[in-house]
Amino acid sequence: MIIHEQEITWAAHKLTLTNQKAIYWEKQKTLILSDLHLGKAAHFRRHGIPIPSQIHHKDLGILEKLILHYQVDKVIIVGDLIHANQNGEVLDFKNFLQHFKEVQFLLIKGNHDRIAERKILDLGIAGIYDSYELDGLCFVHEPQPCEGKLISGHIHPGVTVRLPTNKHFRLPSFVVSEDMIILPAFSRFTGLDTKKVVQKAVNYAVLDTGIMVIK
């Protein structure tokens, strides 16, 4: 895995967008991501849909490499950590957190995070919030009015890129406007919403080889 970066200055903060669908906030030594949807593949398999079991292992492997690469003190998950009920994939995350006891994991509660908060805390999450504010930035799962500049998830934003051959493909994207950042879904097992959801926003599309700026 190669980490490609795009530095931006937003709300007077230097943020590093990565092609691994997470933001590194150097000033706070914090990694920011959204929509892990742990347990989603297992949930589908339980309902007879054949989904590979390796998906969440790859997601957690990427998260591990990001934490080690940036040597973070904190990870803010902006909602939808757990897709449905607790299952084996969620317990794998509990084991994952045992390797990072020195890192504080915070969850901004998302619409899929429906299991009891005590069970989420038992995984090793340090705090659960409906919204969370840090140094003038406000973290909520679903985009909504908020005091300060807003960082959210939920939408799984993406962009459609058309080639000169008229072929096109879709890419996950960070959506960045003056007052809001919408994070791409960290999980590989999610759809993409390619509708323009924010006016006067810049899309930072994620590729294996880098980040493409689309205005």
At 86 the pLDDT is 61
- Count of domains in the chain? 1
What is the rounded CA–CA span in Å between residue 83 and residue 56? 12
At 115 the pLDDT is 84
Write the DSSP assignment of 57-125 as a string of letters.
HHHHHHHHHHHHHHT-SEEEE-S-SB-SS--HHHHHHHHHHGGGTTSEEEEE--TT--S-HHHHHHHT-
- Residue 27: helix, strand or coil by DSSP? helix
CATH number of the domain that residue 66 is part of = 3.60.21
At 162 the pLDDT is 79
At 43 the pLDDT is 47
Q: By residue range, what is the domain housing residue 87?
A: 5-214
Residue 133 CB contacts under 8 Å (≥ 6 apart), including other chains: 139, 147, 148
Separation of CA 41 from chain center: 17
At 45 the pLDDT is 45
pLDDT in tens, the chain (215 residues): 899 999 999 999 999 999 999 999 999 999 999 999 886 554 444 544 455 566 678 999 999 999 999 999 999 999 899 856 666 778 889 999 999 999 999 999 988 687 889 989 999 999 999 999 999 999 999 988 777 799 999 999 999 987 667 678 899 999 999 999 999 999 986 778 888 778 889 999 999 999 999 98
Rounded to two decimals, what is the model's pTM? 0.91
